[in-house]
Amino acid sequence: MSLEETPSQTAGPFVHIGLLPEALPPLTTPSSAHDLVLEGQILDGAGEPLRDALVELWDASTGQWLRSATDEGVYRFALRRPAAAFVSLLILARGINVGLHTRAYLQPAPDDALLATLGERATTLAATPLPGGWRFDIRLQGEAETVFLKP
């Protein structure tokens, strides 16, 4: 007997309940000269911002674990300067059955084994340097879709 997935086993349609503004901390902002900002948008297949997503960040080099709800599709993290080339991200949103895992590379990593296997698609994991941080847009589908990893 095969059991089909039920709506209660997906991230929607009630994911927005956990994303109510009063239930989550505000978008983080730098609090010291050592803090840098990583921000970007989560975009759907049509290029529209996903307004009710949740992004979690893990930086193994500093031990930081941060969470940001999207505000008009924008997420933002204030983080200490990472020692590693990348930070790990998890995206949760309505209609996504299993969280999507990806990486944001904050600096070049010419010897990185994952990037070496991706060819031209490796560019979808590169964050754009900005004064005081980086921008990393996450595209869920379509042209220039971000590379997602199996957990």
**Residue 19 phi/psi, 5° resolution?**
-110, 15
Assigned fold of 7-139: Protocatechuate 3,4-Dioxygenase, subunit A (2.60.130)
Q: How many CB atoms lie within 10 A of CB 141?
A: 12
Q: Where are the domains of the chain?
A: 7-139
Among the listed ranges 12-16, 77-81, 92-96, 121-125, which one has the minimum average pLDDT value?
12-16
pTM of the model: 0.80
**Residue 118 phi/psi, 5° resolution?**
-90, -15
Q: What is the mean pLDDT of residues 14-38?
A: 59
- Per-residue model confidence as pLDDT tens digits over 68-99: 988 888 999 988 888 899 999 999 987 787 89
- Per-residue model confidence as pLDDT tens digits over 98-107: 899 999 999 9
3-class SS of residue 121 = helix
